[in-house]
Amino acid sequence: MDNAEITADDLIALVRAYNPKTNEGLLRKAYAYGAEMHKGQFRHSGEAYFTHPVAVAAILTEQRLDDATLITALLHDTVEDTDASYKDVKELFSQEVAELVDGVTKLTNLQLNSTATKQAENFRKLFMAMSKDLRVILVKLADRLHNMRTIKAMRPDKQAQKARETMDIYAPLAGRMGMQWMREELEDLAFRVLNPEGRASIIRRFITLQRESGDVIQRITGDMRVELDKAGIEAEVYGRAKKPYSIWRKMQEKELSFSRLSDIYGFRVLTNSEADCYTTLGIIHGRWRAVPGRFKDYISQPKSNGYRSLHTTVSGRDGKRVEVQIRTQQMHDVAETGVAAHWSYRDGKRSKNPFAVDPVKWISQLSEQFNSEENHEDFLEAVKLEMYADQVFCFTPKGDVVKLPRGATPIDFAYAIHTRIGNACVGAKIDGMRVPLWTRVKNGQSIEIIRAQGQTPQATWLDIATTGKAKSAIRRSLREEDRGRFVKLGTELARSAFSQVGKRATEKVLRTAAKSMRFDGVDDLLARLGSSEITAREVVQSVYADLAPKQGAEIDAKRAVIGLEAGQDINRAPCCTPLPGERIVGITFKGEGVTMHSIDCEKLVEYEDQPDRWIDLRWHEGNHPAVYGTVLDMTLSNGAGALGRICTLIGEASANISDLEFIERKPDFYRLLIYLDLRDAAHLHSLMLTLEAESDVAAISRYRKNDA
């Protein structure tokens, strides 16, 4: 049905199909009020604006949602874009509807695609809004779905922005809520904008495949029905080709060409009972060969959003693989609508689906995981990890089940049980065998954590852990351990910085700086300064804005070092490549000038018995140009776009890449040397911190020939 044709009668007919007892009068009133408020407003396509809220309400009827949610959909833009107020909506409809409309309005105002810090802060607000009433996000998801369906009317730059936001946030959120159909459609609509050539190539190959092999879906569904009829099992069988983006993602993840990608068809069998599900599984495995390692039982171990189903992958004589999902009709209802199934109506009554999850419990469980994160960036990382996670189920030695995201390690398992167990972990056994802590756990494994008194988390664990909970606990422990050292270093940095502008870093001055920069106190400020999370310049500027050292004229690289005699040439030693800001020393060479080394360079040992060749040098303080070559040794996950993201981050940090050298290539990672031009040691430290925080980066260090 075209959006422009959805009248109040049409909408009510859609609702009455699943809820004959709907409050028809209230729906008509909301329709008329919304139409009146949006009168004279138009969309980018030229259509009357009110066609959009009506279309959003129609999408929500597909999930058989209650009257309050549908009225919210009809009015969701009135408070934001018209003269309607919260008070008006409350008086005309109800407190419940007014709060829902207000919640959707607040979500609309969140700029989820902004900078990382702002994005993380807004993500936290999004979860707070969801925790009050999950129907707010159901309306927002339907709103985004309709906007993506009609995105062609927008400017190209706006299309790309909305598509990226959809791919990063709304699609995985829909998947996390169990609304798989919506996740797939949102992903595919975003894929159409972000990579139209890639999507078109998938569709072209699909058409070619169908021409060559005929209608595979009809043939396999027919075969399955024959086998089920023979066994006397009543069931519905459906088949479908997977969405272009789903196929594209598999090709990227597995590094396969389309011709080698096998499981591009999915089949679903809906039975009358749970017992029939397992019988059907046996029938399918008896007729077709099961692919090892591809069976999942989400009936005995449901997902947290209520999802239940048996998953298996089988292959026929021609070697073609197909995925099969087996579930009951009630399980299917929850699989289609996820957490939204809690509000679903059937024949005028809230459907009592035994598998529907209580949204209050679901969101509180989710929020509990995320609210333990102390800062916004950790929170964002935890949210994204959780939303993209495909779960595995492991067992404690006592037989208790622990759910973890795919790719999790024994460290994640230990922290999932208790932070105390994670902190004391020294090793692990999987199914009785001792394994390294970086081992990836698999479905059904039994894991035992080996602990030791006095053990504390290691910094390398951050590269091994995958769950937000584990990473957060490890960071917290490392911060506490290093806090004393960082406070001491921060005190010295602050003293030096304030003395440069003729001021003293007194307790009161530091307290004022901490308050101005919104830290918890002086120690918090000094710890962050010592750990290079903030700069001394920022601290001085927070109190004495006019006195803080300004970014003045750049220092000429030829005159960057103090301590040389007139006419002496200087070279940076290639073994340690010292940077401005580092302690340096010079070694004289007849006819070649002076070579400068970092004070900790191992090469200096060769000149210990020649003190007459040593010159005391130091860098000019000030703003150096980004011309000092440095090399980073990086291990990077071999994922789609990983290197591109790293190069973008380096560019954003005002560093220049002069060369890339690949040292080692593996299926899941590669190691490379990145040759950079930087300003000084602080620039290097800041860049390394930024790159280390990137999830694709497994390891990073400064490369020196001394270390080679």
- What residues are annotated to the active site? 80-81
DSSP string covering 605-664, please? GGGTT-GGGEEEEEEPSS---S-EEEEEEEEEE--TTHHHHHHHHHHHTT-EEEEEEEEE
| Residues 626 and 677: beta-carbon distance below 8 Å | yes
Neighbours of 275 (CB within 10 A): 10
Helix, strand, or coil (residue 374): coil
Separation between Cα atoms, residue 140 and residue 108, nearest integer Å: 8
Q: In what order do the strands lie in the sheet with 584-589?
A: 561-562, 614-619, 584-589, 593-598, 570-572
Separation between Cα atoms, residue 503 and residue 97, nearest integer Å: 58
Residue 528: exposure state from Cβ atoms within 10 A (0-12, 13-18, ≥19): buried
Separation between Cα atoms, residue 664 and residue 638, nearest integer Å: 11
Phi, psi (degrees; rounded to nearest 5) at 241: -85, 145
Separation between Cα atoms, residue 546 and residue 486, nearest integer Å: 27
Separation between Cα atoms, residue 522 and residue 535, nearest integer Å: 15
Separation between Cα atoms, residue 467 and residue 394, nearest integer Å: 15
Question: What does the H/E/C string look like for 10-77?
Answer: HHHHHHHCCCCCCCHHHHHHHHHHHHHHCCCCECCCCCECCHHHHHHHHHHHCCCCCHHHHHHHHHCC
Helix, strand, or coil (residue 588): strand
Separation between Cα atoms, residue 113 and residue 259, nearest integer Å: 36
Separation between Cα atoms, residue 63 and residue 351, nearest integer Å: 12
Q: What is the largest CA-CA distance in the chain?
A: 99
| Residues listed for the chain | 708
Rounded (5°) CA angle 206-209-212: 155
Helix, strand, or coil (residue 243): coil
Separation between Cα atoms, residue 601 and residue 61, nearest integer Å: 70
Helix, strand, or coil (residue 560): coil
Closest CA to 57 of 35, 78, 36, 75: 75
